Chains A and B, each alone.
Chain A
Amino acid sequence: SQQGEEDPQALSIQEGENATMNCSYKTSINNLQWYRQNSGRGLVHLILIRSNEREKHSGRLRVTLDTSKKSSSLLITASRAADTASYFCATIQGNNRLAFGKGNQVVVIP
């Protein structure tokens, strides 16, 4: 069953604006990961945040994790047209398999 569940959003923003998307999950986790997918093909790992971390940065990405609410957010600052993609959160289940949410589609308009 899917554990990560993003708010089903399709964001359309102007280049330079920030994009925020959320994810909730149901079970206890050791970490939560965010992936990007372009054109419905291969996923690219963006960032991993561990359960004992509350916030993590990587370049223009900022991820937060609230284990009490079982939720995470991904913020992309100063968006670029190349950020146009679908973004998925994923949690690790037994045997290291990833459970993905449905994803958020982000369109950055130049």
Chain B
Amino acid sequence: GAGVSQTPSNKVTEKGKYVELRCDPISGHTALYWYRQSLGQGPEFLIYFQGTGAADDSGLPNDRFFAVRPEGSVSTLKIQRTERGDSAVYLCASSSTSREDTQYFGPGTRLTVL
């Protein structure tokens, strides 16, 4: 079946703007994760959904970042008042359950804040 998809693949925005990044997980996967990867670094955890609820949002860097998953499938990561430091690749992953199952990653969205 189809893997995890993310849109857009690239997003260029200006400082102070609002952006939304979308993730379509593998069908039937109940767990969904967002990570952020800066240049030369490994991915860092942002938020984890189990179904519709955010089970762990401890990785969100500040209150400008918010994510939703209203129907337990597609998720949207929302960033308000973007800053240049938000520039990174935002990766989404899904797994069939939360119990140490393999996480399948999407291709990521490269966000550039000018």
Contacts and interface: CB of A to CB of B under 8 A. Distances in A.
A33 B31 CA distance: 18
B24 to A, nearest CB: 13
A66 B8 CA distance: 41
Interface in B86-113: 89, 91, 93, 95, 98-108, 110
A96 B98 contact: yes
Nearest to B3: A42
> How many residues of B sit at the interface, in one of the four size bands?
20 to 34
A48 B102 contact: yes
B44 A100 contact: yes
A44 interface: yes
Interface of B: 4, 31, 33, 35, 37, 39-45, 48, 55-56, 59, 89, 91, 93, 95, 98-108, 110
Contacts, number: 72
Interface of A: 2, 4, 30-31, 33, 35, 40-45, 48, 88, 90, 92-103
A101 B6 CA distance: 23
B100 A31 contact: yes
B80 to A, nearest CB: 23
Contact of B48 (A43, A44, A95, A103): A95
A45 B101 CA distance: 11
B98 A95 contact: yes
A51 to B, nearest CB: 11
Contacts of A2: 42, 44
A48 B100 CA distance: 10
Contacts of A40: 37, 39, 89, 108
Contacts of B59: 97
Given A43-B91, A97-B48, A100-B42, 10 more contacts: A2-B44, A41-B107, A43-B93, A88-B43, A94-B56, A96-B31, A96-B103, A97-B45, A98-B35, A103-B41
Contacts of A102: 40-42
